[in-house]
């Protein structure tokens, strides 16, 4: 198969995402390049290039000669991200329904099952990963690569909080049902219903998360 060995910067990028996601690197905290590079066993060059990518995604901020800092999300930011997601995901879903094939539906159904199995294990990281794959399998169908890229950025920005969301058992139960509803709506090629289930899915998420933040 086509298993290219990853470059160091790609590995470092993945590691950084995990560090941020798990809270190993906390919001607001400075990222000391020397320390992290040594921790990862690499030099600072690939680390800095990975940080530049995260900067572009808004995951970290950069102040010249002062360094990189893990971005902090206020409640306002959170709502902004979800508002933008609403706009863009509606567009993506609309286009997706227009393009969707039975083969696609089958694949998405498979991914929904994987969310199910991941949920039964209870491992939060596995659930978020599976959940993400499920949703982006749908978004990808819109055949608008830039739109998908923007959506990935928005999802990345709130990954930290999403894992908080999945940590609560009732939420885990609910998303399974909502995924099924989304799947049904897609199978029926019903744009309205597909969108509205996506909306409620998001709304539940943002409500739960902002309760955690402000609480």
Partner DNA sequence: GACCGGTAAATTGGATCCAATCCAGAAAAT
Partner DNA sequence: ATTTTCTGGATTGGATCCAATTTACCGGTC
Site string for DNA, 65-94 (x = CB under 7 A): xxxx--------------------------
CA distance 115 to 176: 8
Closer to DNA by Cβ: residue 60 or 81: 60
* Residue carrying structure tokens 């991941």: 118
Site string for DNA, 5-44 (x = CB under 7 A): x-xxx--------------------xxxxx-------xxx
Tokens of residue 91, six digits: 């567009």
In this chain, which of 49, 57, 104, 140 binds DNA, going by CB under 7 A? 49
Closer to DNA by Cβ: residue 33 or 153: 33
* Residue carrying structure tokens 């879903």: 93
The option from its own copies, DNA, none interacting with 57 (CB < 5 to 8 A, set by class) reads: its own copies
Backbone torsions φ then ψ of 190, nearest 5 degrees: -100, 105
Cα–Cα distances (Å) from 181 to 36, 44, 154, 174, 200, in that order, read 43, 47, 23, 11, 11
Strand 60-63 with 67-70, pairing: antiparallel
Closer to its own copies by Cβ: residue 11 or 178: 11
Binding site for its own copies (CB under 8 A): 4, 7, 10, 45, 48-49, 52-53, 55-58, 64-65, 77, 80-81, 83-84, 87-88, 91, 144-147, 149-150, 154, 157
CA distance 37 to 78: 30
The option from DNA, its own copies, none interacting with 144 (CB < 5 to 8 A, set by class) reads: its own copies
> Which of the ranges 3-11, 86-94, 96-104, 200-208 carries the binding residues for DNA, by CB under 7 A?
3-11
**Strand pairing partners for 159?**
none
Q: What is the chain's percent helix, strand, coil content, to nearest 5? A: 75, 5, 20
Residues that bind DNA (CB under 7 A): 4-5, 7-9, 30-34, 42-46, 48-49, 62, 64-68
């Amino acid at each position: 198969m086509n298993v290219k060995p990853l470059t160091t910067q790609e590995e470092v990028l993945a590691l950084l995402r995990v560090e941020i996601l798990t809270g190993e690197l906390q919001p607001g905290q400075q990222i000391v390049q020397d320390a992290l590079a040594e921790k990862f066993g690499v030099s600072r060059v690939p680390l800095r290039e990975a940080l530049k990518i995260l900067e572009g995604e808004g995951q970290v901020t950069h102040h010249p000669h002062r360094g990189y800092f893990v971005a902090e999300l206020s409640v306002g930011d959170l709502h902004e991200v979800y508002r933008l997601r609403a706009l863009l995901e509606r567009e993506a879903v609309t286009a997706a329904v227009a393009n969707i094939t039975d083969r696609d539906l089958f694949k998405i159904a498979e991914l929904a099952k994987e969310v199910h199995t991941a949920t039964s294990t209870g491992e939060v990281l596995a659930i978020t990963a599976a959940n993400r794959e499920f949703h982006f399998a749908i978004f990808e169908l819109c055949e608008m690569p830039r739109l998908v890229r923007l959506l990935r950025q928005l999802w990345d920005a709130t990954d930290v909080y999403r894992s908080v969301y999945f940590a609560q058992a009732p939420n885990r139960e609910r998303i399974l049902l909502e995924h099924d509803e989304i799947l049904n709506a897609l199978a029926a090629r019903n744009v309205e219903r597909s969108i509205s289930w996506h909306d409620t899915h998001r709304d539940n998420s943002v409500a739960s998360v902002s309760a955690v933040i402000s609480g």
